[in-house]
Amino acid sequence: MGLIKPDKRAYIKLVFLIVVLIIVIISGIKTAPWLFEHAKNPEYTRQYLAGFGNESFFVFILIQMIQVIIVIIPVDLLNICSGFVFGMPLGFVLSYLGLMLGSVIVFYISRFLGYDFVCRLISKEKIEKISGMLNSTKGTVGLFIFCCIPFISKAIIMYIAGLTPVKASRLFLIYGISRIPGTLIWVSIGANAYEKDMWGLGITIAFMLILFVVVYFLGRFYTKKEKIQS
């Protein structure tokens, strides 16, 4: 099947997409140092957020959302910071809300501005293949494994998924479930660090190691299974 020539509206959306990407990059360059310094110094962040009073919850959620959208600072750093500042379970709730809201925004920005153009440049067969992979068991396992890898930005998944016809509700469900283990662990580390709870910190790290081992063998299992099927 030949490629479909993009229409004027598709080109307009592409221009908007480029503008948005430029804004994201510039915002990342401007904001990343501030976010990184706050994430490295949880005590300073605690004092900074305390200045907002009852609005500190919303401020942190907004910071988490911005971090997800600019795809610069790994969200795990802010998760640790959230646990240090708000403790458990509030820190987990705030971190999770922020990263999920930011991820949904990222997905729809990508879909609205980019999908219409991409679907006119890439053949229907290729788009369906990519979508099928994202909707498959293999894609689900791969997404879970990727979300468990520490200190890398996971929002890139949403930017890519938005360019495909993957079913949004299913993607958000799988992505949301995949983010729970890692978020719980990193927020718990921050909370235990603030409380100076060495036993709790040790137990959390033990769970983290168990999670990494499970993810490692899960990845090997599906890789081996794929080779056998091929």
Counted domains in the chain? 1
Q: State mean pLDDT over 57-75.
A: 80
Q: State mean pLDDT over 64-82.
A: 79
Q: State mean pLDDT over 39-47.
A: 73
Asked, for residue 22, whether it belongs to a domain, the answer is yes
Asked, for residue 166, whether it belongs to a domain, the answer is yes
Asked, for residue 1, whether it belongs to a domain, the answer is no
Asked, for residue 2, whether it belongs to a domain, the answer is no
Closest CA to 39 of 83, 87, 80: 80
Asked, for residue 170, whether it belongs to a domain, the answer is yes
Q: State mean pLDDT over 112-116.
A: 69
Which of the two residues, 125 and 214, has the higher pLDDT score?
214
* Full domain range(s) for residue 144: 8-229
The tokens for 76 are: 């795990």
Range name among 3-7, 16-20, 94-98, 209-213 with the lowest pLDDT average: 3-7
**Mean pLDDT value across the chain:** 76
| pLDDT confidence bin for 22, thresholds 50/70/90 | confident
Asked, for residue 53, whether it belongs to a domain, the answer is yes
Asked, for residue 119, whether it belongs to a domain, the answer is yes
Q: Are 81 and 42 in contact (CB under 8 A)?
A: yes
Asked, for residue 116, whether it belongs to a domain, the answer is yes
pTM: predicted TM-score of the whole model, two decimal places: 0.75
Q: State mean pLDDT over 51-72.
A: 83
